[in-house]
Structure 1
Amino acid sequence: MEIDLSGTWQVTLNGRDVPCALPGDIHSALLDRGLIPDPYFASNEDAVRWMMERDWVLSRTVSLSAEQAASMNQIELDRVDTLATVRINGVDVGRCDNAFRRWRFAVDEGVLKAGDNRFELVFDNPVAAAKTLSQAQEYDIPWHWNVDLPHANLIRMIACDCGWDWNICLTPLGVAGALVLRRAPTLSLDYLDVRQLHSAGKVDLVLTVSGTLYDRDGVGSCAGTLVIDGQTLALSPEPVDGGEFRAVARCTLDQPRLWWPNGMGEQALYSVQVALDGQGLTRTIGLRSLEIDQTEDSTGSAMQFVVNGQPIFAKGANWIPVDALPARRTPENTRPLLEAAVAAHMNMIRVWGGGLYEPDWFYDLCAEVGLLVWQDAMFSCHLYPSDTVFLDNVRAELDHNIRRLQSAPVIALWCGDNEVIGALTWYPESRSNRDRYLVAYDRLNRTVEAAVSQHDSSRVFWPSSPCNGSLDFGDAWHDDASGDMHFWDVWHEAKPFSDYYRVRPRFCSEFGFQSFPSLATVRTFAPEEHWNVSSPSFDKHQRNEGGNARIMETLARYFRFPKDFQSTLYLSQLAQGLAFKTAVEYWRANSPHCAGALYWQLNDCWPVTSWATLEYGGRWKLSHNMAKDFFAPVLVTTIPEPNRQKRFEVRVVSDQVDLSGVRVRYRLFSIAGALVSSGWFETTRDVPRLIATSFGTFDMDAVQGIEGEDKGHLVELQAYSGDRVLGQANWAADAPMKAYDFQDPELNWTVSADSVTVRAERLAPYVQLESDAPGYFSDGGFFLVPGEERVIRFSGERNFADTLTVRSLRDSY
């Protein structure tokens, strides 16, 4: 017997009851009814700051029969954000203090009554609460400067909700999951644990169902079934320590369909349906083996994911919450972003430790589209308490989320935190008393490791990101010999893109470069008089100090200064794409030494200038089109010799299959697009999967036919196997783009249904198609030579041609 308490609640504002949908949040409720301005527009964030500086009450009235009032004895709330007292008819029945937990509180006899019952969630002022917690600490515990809520690290809330160097500070309050009033059953059917043993032609499964046991004496009369792939297996629950039960089923699946990451094979999925004690639990699982190769070698040690016995190069990006407003964190808003990752040939995303453990449906979507998930525990950049009360809260959070997600086939590893090891060197307090803070960190990290070891020993526990390995507290920002690396010198230190050539990480899990959003997105947050990257609206929507200036400095380094606002936006996205391209192609060209590149970041959670390649709402930046090329399954790329941009080595890499009889063709063009020379590299080679293969060196000065040409050249490289084209063509230049006097390419195009055919009279570098219509173009950032045409598809609304713009680099100045 249970009653769903989700739906319309009331929030009181200035004596007025305002409807608030739960699951949902108070900001969204007030915004939907025009009671607060859109916090995403202009500087309206400041106008709603008062909301995080007061208490709030959510309430609703539920009518119960006498039988219901007498029998109901438990209330469940999932992911309450964050500090809230649960009150029924004026009686406090529970206290929530962790946004990542599921709460179940007993409702004592006599609290409920026949007729109307008032349910309240009383939310604490988080600013005052964090300050109070800080005053209770035995020593100072530094918080990161990215957040606008001091001492937010002392509350188990979503870190980036308090602001980050790409996020607004709203600190929204509400409930993200289920709200249920029930009579506590004999047992609660909560979790499914899946263990797989793969052998030739079959997989042996051990499927364990578990949860809370409320009636130890009654469990013997409970029996159930588990159904998978047409097999119905009996379940007999038994009591275990800790007030829980466990029921185990075993089966063998012959000739199983395996789950593979995107690009490697089918995303085969199986439904597991459990029925027990009148309850049901359904999970979607995939059959696959997953390991991490950490073999030691002459450099250090590898870090390569191996799926179903096949090593992969992890291609992807970091994931942040889909929206700053929790009510908008929905499958409908999330699916297009994950599909865009797949369209760019990604096979992995990293759920970053300053966000949240995503809901079940998120991991189901990842399984459906073929994205592995590097899963951080939710600790990032701050330092944290290590007292018993805090760690017990953390352990309960981890126990629940690890068990909840253990059956998800996409979880690739459990990582202890984001950058917390490095944070020990960031703050004066920890630098002056390193031992104290290192011991505190060790207690926290061991808590995470213990939870993973107990609940999911099938996966690797990775202590931190970045990290050189277990028990290695080295500098993984600069040591590229082992483990995963975060490489931020190009952005934070404003170094040239060529600085990526300094490192050969075994796995780079963070690197990035910012760009401005497209004009269609700018319109959603800036009035037209603020269409200037130095305007107040743009400053408010740039959260990384000095970020806009750094972008403009980079544009001046590589391009001629933009002629107008839209050209500035275009060039910033081109620069971002080139930064990512330089890094990813170099590291892929060093495969298998390097086995993964996850750039920062895939998505935005509000309209902002950031490192994302997908804008808020899912619009593709030019850089995302470019990601589709630099992550392509077959890549031909160049490695320039130091200080000699005209001379470079050419390598080909294939992610998916072995290639035989590969040749590389070159075509050398003048800046006007005249073909100066063409030919084939002398070498024909086989390209084994994931082994970057050299095809020799190309020297522009040595190419026949170039004599007398002194205005610069660009070369196109294309790989072939016989007559079959392999992947996209790649281009190299003998100077920065700003050095070339490009002529007007006289771009022209025709539109037919959902496609655009583009032509040019002269060489057109970095062509971009853009429309205000929701959707995306299949290609962007490509070169177009005279006499050739390119057909680009648009996926989205059919009226895209009404606002279609086609530009190239020459149109920007």
Structure 2
Amino acid sequence: MRINSSHLKLLIPFASIIFIVSCQNNQTKTNLLTKNWKFKNSVSNHWYQAIIPGSIHTDLYTNNLIPDPFTGNNEKSLQWIDTCDWVYQTSFNKPQGLKKGDHFELIFEGLDTYADIYLNDSLLFSANNMFIPWIRKIEFEKLKEENKLTLVFKSTLKEEQKKCRTMPYELPGGSRVFTRKAAYQYGWDWAPTYISGGIWQNVKLHYWNSATIRTIETKIETLDSEKALISLKVEIESDIDFNAAIKLECQNQKFKKSFNNISIIKGTQSYKLQFEIEKPKLWWVHNLGEPFLYSIGISLQSLNKQIDKKDFRFGIRTIELVRQKDDSGETFYVELNGVPVFMKGANYVPQSSFPGAVKDSDYRRIISDAKASNMNMLRVWGGGIYEKDIFYNLCDSLGIMVWQDFMFANAMYPGDSSFIENVKSEANYQVKRLSSHPSLAVWCGNNETDEAWHNWGWSGNYSKKDSTIIWNDYEQLFHSILPEIVQSISPEISYTSSSPIFGRGNPRSSCEGDNHYWYVWHDGYDFDLYNKVTGRFMSEFGFQSFPSIKTIEQFDTLARKTIDSEIMFAHQKHPKGNSIIKQYMANYYPVPEDFEEFIYISQLLQAEGIRTGILAQRRSKPFCMGSLYWQLNDCWPAISWSGIDYSGQWKALHYFASEDFKNILISPIIKDDTLVVYVVSDSLSSIKAELHLKLMDFKGIITENWNLNFTMNSSSSQMVFKTAVAEILKDYSKSNHLLYLKLICDGKILATRTFYFVRPKDLNLEKPDFDYQVNNINKGYEIIITSKDLVKNCYLELPIEGFFTDNYFDVIPGIEKRVEFISNCTKEDIGEKIKFTSLNTIEVGKKE
């Protein structure tokens, strides 16, 4: 990489007087103010220790003042917390060396939500938005040697009731629509009602003199294989006009340092720098290439002394959401670096009901888990939060794209000037903050609000006059304000007004825009319906399951557990959830009476159902170009649609997704009594391949063979085999035979797939005769399983900290299955404690 000073352009406002700044004592420093906080109820005199960042609920629990909010059915008894006002307080010393003329700022990165902030008992400001930082300059004269900082958090519920009384009607969504706060905290069909509040992000002390760098935005102006022209928009605040230099240095690509004399103007100004990168390395999603990031240090200097410095990373790529009319309707796909990319992933929700308690390690785990299952996109759902910087940084570095909703979900919103100005501040801040992340692919106005207004009967609940006002407010926000902000700050990122664009029942939903497909689950339709409707981009579809027994034991400590217990219902937020699971289970699987077996089958049911959808959507490529199931994770231990439960345990769904989201996929399906085999490739290269098909019984006896050679086209879905089921099976039983498919290139196995001709409950399974051995490997152990019989959905368990790289898999007779267990345990622990569960044992148990 080389920076070319001849291409460095600085766009600077006119300055009539330029000063030379003495930089001997110049400094810009930022210190965390997260220690030594205390809190109390506003009507109490008793203080308790607080943990910042955090929340009222987590602080109460840490001090043993309430039971665990996530245990048992404690949720009901803890609703009083949200009706109270809470006070947080700390103190800090005046920074050493701070003198008159220096700038001192208090930075609150996240306050939830209505709060009055006092310094030394004088009101500084009042906060009313969870989604923006609050920065306040403190005059030197108002600082004492020791300073008391007090925050009074007012009950969100009571503040909202005041606003409700000003409206002539109640808006869909209730009182929460007035508050710029995470909607899921009010309760959802997978989340508890913990409205909560508090200091949910860091508090910082920031002090500087002369000047400070506020923000840095990057933009790719032009790009080809030879060079990239990059613009940096650097926002600098200064208290004086002076001559300065900006130094750019790339830390992972060598190039000469570049100093450029510029004129810094008093006040807050933006300075545009342009530079070229030769032979640019592009940023890709991880399944198509390297998500390369350039690491840049930028420093503001005067007289060869550093005034301020910031480090940042950026990626070079082009991105577009392509929506073009075609014979079927209108396309809806993401084009990265000129390449249409099939998006594979899930909807992401906040990792806790109390987002301030989520640790950096939690973010690293969940994003790594997404990559490990071959996902290349996560949708940040609009009822949660704009995630912390670490989330987007991890997506950048791991090559996962982000569909970003604005934080509006399943509600209509007021259109008064104070609300709109609040939202504008929020949107301007968030779009600017996220604009330079190469992982950002789409901005979306809201979740399901358009659909709800037109299809859920909302509009019919109001008079014609009121209905017109409410819809006009909607159009003002989502069709005007938000897209204009995105266009002005980040024009390269596409905006779509609502997800989905066309709701359920609208015929355009299957051929235009993105699709939320809930005929399966909500309407009780069979999983096979996924094969008939794929849409252009499936941004939501899902099915529930129970979490792992390890997770259940964290919230249900009763010795005898049942799925219909009071505690289980407290952690099942869909009113018909358990009955729907039972209904579908009876259609596909045996319905066990044993609690742990029911959990196991519920996870298989979910995984097989969503697998049906994923495979159908991928086979439909390029008509369909996205498969994002609902949902990746949980905010508390619950029976939900997640593929990873609250304690981080992978459900069967996440293991299945890791197979079904691979770049190369074999997908057989029976259509009109004919077996059709598709090979789907997301690879950017075409290859010569061989497909081997073996019909075998559950003892491994091969009864039929088919082999064929073909060219597997790049980025395609192609039918490669088609034969009547009757010709394949002949006189063999559907219930005793499987089809084993294997895709090979140059002797290397690219993909495998096991296909059954009947539903799992109709398989004639026997108690398996299998064996296993355990071998040491670098990070743990390898478990090698062999069997003389088919082992259907083998599930491995160990009461030891660790992770199985595969699970819920089929063991085909005569074919070794190798699984790694990543752990620090001993080999003896595995041999003594490993537990095997399979569909065979449940089926055989029922027969006996």
TM range (shorter): over 0.9
2:493 match: 459
Distance 1:612 1:235, change over 3 A: farther
Distance 1:503 1:136, change over 3 A: same
The Cα of 1:364 is off from its aligned counterpart by 1.0
Q: Helix, strand or coil: the match of 2:271?
A: strand
Q: What residue identity is the alignment partner of 1:531? A: K
Q: Is 1:687 matched up with 2:712?
A: yes
Tell me the TM-score normalized by structure 2: 0.89
Per-residue CA distance 1:533-570 (angstroms, 9 max, x = gap): 11111111111121111111111110112141111111
Distance 1:530 1:43, change over 3 A: farther
Q: What residue identity is the alignment partner of 2:547? A: P
Per-residue CA distance 1:354-393 (angstroms, 9 max, x = gap): 1111121211111111111111111111111111111111
1:648 match: 675
| Contact 1:91–1:111 (CA under 8 A) maintained in structure 2 | no
Q: What residue identity is the alignment partner of 1:202? A: K
| Contact 1:663–1:680 (CA under 8 A) maintained in structure 2 | no
1:83 match: 114
Q: Is 1:778 matched up with 2:809?
A: no
1:12 match: 40
Per-residue CA distance 1:315-341 (angstroms, 9 max, x = gap): 111111122223432221111111111
| Contact 2:243–2:264 (CA under 8 A) maintained in structure 1 | no
| Contact 1:192–1:403 (CA under 8 A) maintained in structure 2 | no
Could you tell me how far apart the structure 2 residues matched to 1:251 and 1:467 are? Answer: 39
Q: Helix, strand or coil: the match of 1:332?
A: helix
1:450 match: 484
Structure 1 residues 531-542: aligned runs within 5 Å: 531-542=561-572
Distance 1:227 1:177, change over 3 A: farther
| Contact 2:320–2:492 (CA under 8 A) maintained in structure 1 | no
Given candidates 728, 753, 759, the residue that maps to 1:730 is 753
Distance 1:26 1:219, change over 3 A: farther
Per-residue CA distance 1:160-190 (angstroms, 9 max, x = gap): 1222211122223222333234557555522
| Contact 1:96–1:103 (CA under 8 A) maintained in structure 2 | yes
Distance 1:133 1:219, change over 3 A: farther
2:128 match: 97
1:675 match: 701
1:60 match: 90
Q: What residue identity is the alignment partner of 2:817? A: R
Q: What residue identity is the alignment partner of 1:275? A: S
Q: Bigger CA drift: 558-567 or 712-721?
A: 712-721
Q: Helix, strand or coil: the match of 1:29?
A: helix
| Contact 2:632–2:643 (CA under 8 A) maintained in structure 1 | yes
Could you tell me how far apart the structure 2 residues matched to 1:66 and 1:346 are? Answer: 49
Distance 1:795 1:66, change over 3 A: closer
Could you tell me how far apart the structure 1 residues matched to 2:103 and 2:231 are? Answer: 35
| Contact 1:530–1:537 (CA under 8 A) maintained in structure 2 | no
Q: What residue identity is the alignment partner of 1:491? A: W
Distance 1:224 1:564, change over 3 A: same
Could you tell me how far apart the structure 1 residues matched to 2:561 and 2:282 are? Answer: 51
Could you tell me how far apart the structure 2 residues matched to 1:249 and 1:477 are? Answer: 49
Could you tell me how far apart the structure 1 residues matched to 2:300 and 2:329 are? Answer: 50
Given candidates 563, 566, 575, the residue that maps to 2:605 is 575
1:251 match: 275
The Cα of 1:530 is off from its aligned counterpart by 5.2
Distance 1:234 1:161, change over 3 A: farther
Q: Calculate the aligned-residue CA RMSD, in Å.
A: 2.5
1:160 match: 184
Per-residue CA distance 1:14-60 (angstroms, 9 max, x = gap): 43211112222222222223222111111122232221110000011
| Contact 1:140–1:429 (CA under 8 A) maintained in structure 2 | no
Q: What residue identity is the alignment partner of 1:6? A: T
Distance 1:381 1:619, change over 3 A: same
2:18 match: none
| Contact 2:386–2:407 (CA under 8 A) maintained in structure 1 | yes
2:687 match: 660
The Cα of 1:8 is off from its aligned counterpart by 2.3
| Contact 1:477–1:486 (CA under 8 A) maintained in structure 2 | no
Could you tell me how far apart the structure 1 residues matched to 2:686 and 2:119 are? Answer: 67
Q: What residue identity is the alignment partner of 1:418? A: N
Q: What residue identity is the alignment partner of 2:719? A: S
Distance 1:345 1:331, change over 3 A: same
Aligned residues: 791
| Contact 1:659–1:721 (CA under 8 A) maintained in structure 2 | no
Q: Is 1:190 matched up with 2:224?
A: no
1:290 match: 319
The Cα of 1:252 is off from its aligned counterpart by 1.0
Distance 1:712 1:209, change over 3 A: same
Q: Is 1:328 matched up with 2:357?
A: yes
Q: Helix, strand or coil: the match of 1:399?
A: helix
Q: What residue identity is the alignment partner of 2:213? A: L
Per-residue CA distance 1:502-538 (angstroms, 9 max, x = gap): 2121111111111101111111111234521111111
Q: Bigger CA drift: 294-303 or 92-101?
A: 294-303
Could you tell me how far apart the structure 2 residues matched to 1:82 and 1:380 are? Answer: 18
Distance 1:290 1:227, change over 3 A: same
2:474 match: 441
2:410 match: 381
Q: Helix, strand or coil: the match of 1:524?
A: helix
| Contact 1:380–1:418 (CA under 8 A) maintained in structure 2 | yes
1:147 match: none
| Contact 1:333–1:617 (CA under 8 A) maintained in structure 2 | no
Per-residue CA distance 1:130-151 (angstroms, 9 max, x = gap): 11111123432121xxxxxx51
Q: Bigger CA drift: 71-80 or 357-366?
A: 71-80
Distance 1:5 1:430, change over 3 A: farther
The Cα of 1:629 is off from its aligned counterpart by 1.0
| Contact 2:363–2:390 (CA under 8 A) maintained in structure 1 | no
| Contact 1:323–1:606 (CA under 8 A) maintained in structure 2 | yes
Could you tell me how far apart the structure 2 residues matched to 1:678 and 1:18 are? Answer: 73
| Contact 1:476–1:486 (CA under 8 A) maintained in structure 2 | no
The Cα of 1:797 is off from its aligned counterpart by 4.1
Q: What residue identity is the alignment partner of 1:90? A: D
2:20 match: none
Q: What residue identity is the alignment partner of 1:680? A: W
Q: Is 1:361 matched up with 2:390?
A: yes
Structure 1 residues 290-689: aligned runs within 5 Å: 290-425=319-454, 426=456, 428=458, 431-432=461-462, 433=464, 434-445=467-478, 446-467=480-501, 479-529=509-559, 531-642=561-672, 644=673, 647-670=674-697, 672-681=698-707, 683-689=708-714
Could you tell me how far apart the structure 1 residues matched to 2:733 and 2:451 are? Answer: 51
The Cα of 1:590 is off from its aligned counterpart by 1.2
The Cα of 1:811 is off from its aligned counterpart by 1.9
| Contact 1:160–1:355 (CA under 8 A) maintained in structure 2 | yes
Could you tell me how far apart the structure 2 residues matched to 1:367 and 1:193 are? Answer: 15
Unpaired runs of at least 5, structure 1: 144-149
1:146 match: none
Given candidates 782, 799, 803, the residue that maps to 1:755 is 782
| Contact 1:477–1:487 (CA under 8 A) maintained in structure 2 | no
Could you tell me how far apart the structure 2 residues matched to 1:185 and 1:134 are? Answer: 45
Distance 1:489 1:231, change over 3 A: farther
Distance 1:252 1:810, change over 3 A: same
Per-residue CA distance 1:462-486 (angstroms, 9 max, x = gap): 2211125xxxx89679721122111
Q: Is 1:793 matched up with 2:820?
A: yes
Tell me the TM-score normalized by structure 1: 0.92
